Amino acid sequence: TELSLIRNFSIIAHIDHGKSTLADRLIQTTGGLSEREMSQQVLDNMDIEKERGITIKAQTVRLDYTAKDGKTYELNLMDTPGHVDFAYEVSRSLAACEGALLVVDAAQGVEAQTLANVYQSIEHDHEIVPVINKIDLPAAEPEKVRTEIEDIIGIDASNAVMTSAKSGIGIEDVLEAIVARIPPPVGERDAALQAMLVDSWYDPYLGVVILVRVMQGVLKKGLNIKFMQGQTEHLVDRVGCMRPKIEQLAELGPGEIGFITAQIKEVEQAKVGDTITTVKGGATKALPGYKEVQPVVFCGLFPVDAADFDKLRESIGKLRLNDASFSFEMESSAALGFGFRCGFLGLLHLEIIQERLSREYDLDLITTAPSVVYRLTMTDGTTQELHNPADMPDPVRVETMEEPWIKAVIYTPDEYLGPILKLCQDRRGIQRDLTYVAGRAQVTYELPLNEVVFDFYDRLKSISRGYASFDYQQIGLRQGDLVKMNILVNNEPVDALSMIVHRSQADMRGRGLVERLKELIPRHMFKIPIQAAIGAKVIARETISAMRKDVTAKCYGGDISRKKKLLEKQKEGKKRMREYGNVSIPQEAFIAALRMG
Ligand code: GTP
């Protein structure tokens, strides 16, 4: 396709502002799918994505649109993941485009996450087309939102497109705005091939499918290609695009977005952001912006039923086929038996994988406390990374300990500011900036990642009734006074609950945790002490008193159906419990105990 007829764009939107609905409308209007096929949202194609209403994997779709000027344009719509955990993937998707639609809910206005993505988009020199969506809602205030876009984001919104993606209003205007306002790509057809690997995923029929954006040169079937970072060579056996159904093409020229397959078996070989060139006469310089992604949050996953270990291994292997960004290695724990230590890009990523394992593979799992990666400098001068609190060496051998910090931007209506500042302060936050725009506050904090991985986001949402939004980026390691806290149940350490905490927080954390465990662990025939300890020093203690005889007698006497029910309940309960020093701990207790009060 001629460069002047190509438009590559992404859609930036806060969760729920209507990105997927708008994308579906654009596909429908340009004839990509029939009405029946439209009955499901096509861009969000995983169950969990649908349920949680978030886009996890970037997808792309090519649309042919005959504009009012009579010319037919090739529009490549790049869908980007909508969560901070996937910020790098977002950056590569954006680098593949020349413009973006900024979708803002006419009733909700601009949110923090939108801001972060817009700024990224601006950094990529994108032309941004504001789209004010949901104008059909009674609470819609499009003019207020228009002003907000101008005041807060600082871009001209005088020609913002007004839409209702749901009712199909303004869709034609969006398409015309894309053609008229987003610039066509540039690139030389005769130059050495340079294509950016935007995304990759595993397809059971095609093997690894690679989404590419050709910058220079031409990608064709039969070409011997080379991944410049991965240092591997492959033979291209398919070239095509998605409409959103797969369509094979003869080639992808400069400026075009499409996919290739090249008999690649593992997504790990196809790294997001890599540069693809030809083996013969290839480019000498890789495209800028490549980064090796590293998991930042680690936790252990153990089967509740030890017999499920093989099934867990197999299931994790399958998920990993499609997601090179999470890591896993076998781990054994005294109390939990065999399981896996897994690394994730963030908490949401962790939850997604955990949910898929339990839902798609029907596994009952125990998840240990999520932990960030600490750097230890030992007294002998060596350094090591600590991914698992259980591996913490003897503190006398540790000279210093460093933890990762983040810079967080929180955006909230004024009335919730007080409790939000308190939350950040309680989490060892350092305030860096506080500004007010249009009745809302934008506050910037530096926070230890460790304080955020547990339940920061949940707390933020609950104290702001869902109105505050949150976005963060990592800013490096800082030294901290950190200690390992053990939890002992009936005098036996429960390694799944041990965690690294800041010394100033240890008492509070320890007390909270043992108090919650006291509620969560059922009574036994004997007294159970629950303790939090740092080394040999107990910092908090609770006791679960023994079950009284007459209580059981009462339960089991009389009514036979009630007795049966009780027994059944007990059986059900047993399946989901683990034994520690003769104490049965329900599976729920592990996660519930970690949620901070
Ligand atoms: P993520 O995929 O999580 O980023 O969300 P999204 O931005 O793709 O939002 P989605 O398209 O799933 O829409 C969220 C909700 O808003 C859905 O219930 C839609 O039906 C609804 N919605 C989308 N557009 C409109 C609109 O124009 N008017 C109204 N009233 N509702 C809309």
Q: What are the tens digits of pLDDT across the range 316-325?
A: 988 888 788 8
Q: Which residue's C-alpha comes closest to atom 20 of ligand 1? A: 166
Cα separation, 189 vs 18, in Å, equals: 37
SS3 content of the chain, % helix, strand, coil (to 5): 30, 35, 35
Mean pLDDT to the nearest integer, 334-341: 83
Q: What is the DSSP string of 485-500?
A: EEEEETTEE-GGG-EE
User: From the centroid of its chain, how far is CA 512?
Assistant: 28
Is position 135 annotated in a ligand binding site?
Answer: yes
Indicate whether 544 pLDDT > 50: yes
Lowest mean pLDDT segment, chosen from 96-105, 132-141, 392-401, 577-586: 577-586
Is position 339 annotated in a ligand binding site?
Answer: no
Q: Residue 466: its pLDDT value, please?
A: 75
Q: Residue 564: its pLDDT value, please?
A: 59
All residues at 6 or more sequence positions from 420 whose CB lies less than 8 Å from its CB, including other chains? 410, 412, 443, 460, 463, 464, 468
Q: Residue 478: its pLDDT value, please?
A: 97
Residue 395, both tokens = 């503190």
107 Cβ inside 6 Å of ligand 1: no
Q: Residue 368: its pLDDT value, please?
A: 83
55 Cβ inside 6 Å of ligand 1: yes
3 Cβ inside 6 Å of ligand 1: no
Indicate whether 381 pLDDT > 80: yes
Residue corresponding to tokens 């991985």: 453
Indicate whether 49 pLDDT > 50: no
What pTM, to 2 d.p., does this model score?
0.75
Indicate whether 294 pLDDT > 60: yes
Q: Which residue's C-alpha comes closest to atom 26 of ligand 1? A: 134
Question: Over pLDDT 90: what percentage of the chain?
Answer: 50
Q: Residue 245: its pLDDT value, please?
A: 77
Question: Over pLDDT 70: what percentage of the chain?
Answer: 86
Indicate whether 281 pLDDT > 50: yes
Indicate whether 347 pLDDT > 60: yes
Q: Name the strand (E) or helix (H) holding 213.
A: strand 207-216
Higher pLDDT, 576 or 406: 406
In degrees, rounded to 5, the angle at the alpha carbon of residue 375 between the alpha carbons of residues 373 and 380 is: 150
> How does residue 458 score in pLDDT terms, banded at 50, 70 and 90?
confident
Q: What are 252-280's pLDDT values in tens digits?
A: 999 999 999 999 988 888 999 999 999 99
Is position 133 annotated in a ligand binding site?
Answer: yes
Is position 21 annotated in a ligand binding site?
Answer: yes
Lowest mean pLDDT segment, chosen from 160-164, 222-226, 348-352: 348-352
The answer to whether the complex's ipTM is over 0.85 is yes
192 Cβ inside 6 Å of ligand 1: no
Cα separation, 147 vs 159, in Å, equals: 12
Lowest mean pLDDT segment, chosen from 17-26, 162-171, 449-458, 570-579: 570-579
Here the contacts of 465-468 (C-beta below 8 Å, separation 24 or greater) are 465/416, 467/412, 467/413, 467/416, 468/112, 468/410, 468/411, 468/412, 468/413, 468/416, 468/420
Q: Residue 177: its pLDDT value, please?
A: 98
Beta-bridge mates of residue 483: 501
Q: What count of Cα atoms within 13 Å lies in the side-chain half-sphere of residue 272? A: 25
Ligand 1 geometric centre to CA of 54 (Å):
10
Q: Residue 322: its pLDDT value, please?
A: 79
Q: Residue 242: its pLDDT value, please?
A: 86
Q: What are 416-437's pLDDT values in tens digits?
A: 999 999 999 999 999 999 998 7
Q: What is the number of other CB atoms lying within 10 angstroms of the CB of residue 564?
A: 10
Residue 169, both tokens = 């209003």
Q: Residue 484: its pLDDT value, please?
A: 94
Mutate to test the pocket of ligand 1, among 145, 166, 173 (most ligand atoms within 8 A of CB): 166
199: which DSSP letter? E
Is position 18 annotated in a ligand binding site?
Answer: yes
Here the contacts of 389-393 (C-beta below 8 Å, separation 24 or greater) are 389/484, 389/498, 389/499, 389/500, 390/333, 390/495, 390/498, 392/484, 392/500
168 Cβ inside 6 Å of ligand 1: no
Indicate whether 57 pLDDT > 50: no
Cα separation, 5 vs 179, in Å, equals: 8
Lowest mean pLDDT segment, chosen from 234-243, 459-468, 501-510: 459-468
User: From the centroid of its chain, how far is CA 481?
Assistant: 29
Residue corresponding to tokens 């600082």: 154
Nearest atom in ligand 1 to 23's CA: 11
Contact 366, 591 (CB under 8 A): no
Q: What are 486-537's pLDDT values in tens digits?
A: 999 888 888 878 889 999 989 988 998 899 889 888 888 888 899 999 999 9
Q: Residue 440: its pLDDT value, please?
A: 79
86: which DSSP letter? G
> How does residue 538 score in pLDDT terms, banded at 50, 70 and 90?
very high
Q: Quote the mean pLDDT of the chain.
A: 85
Is position 76 annotated in a ligand binding site?
Answer: no
Indicate whether 555 pLDDT > 70: no
Q: Residue 164: its pLDDT value, please?
A: 97
Ligand 1 geometric centre to CA of 62 (Å):
21
Indicate whether 251 pLDDT > 90: yes
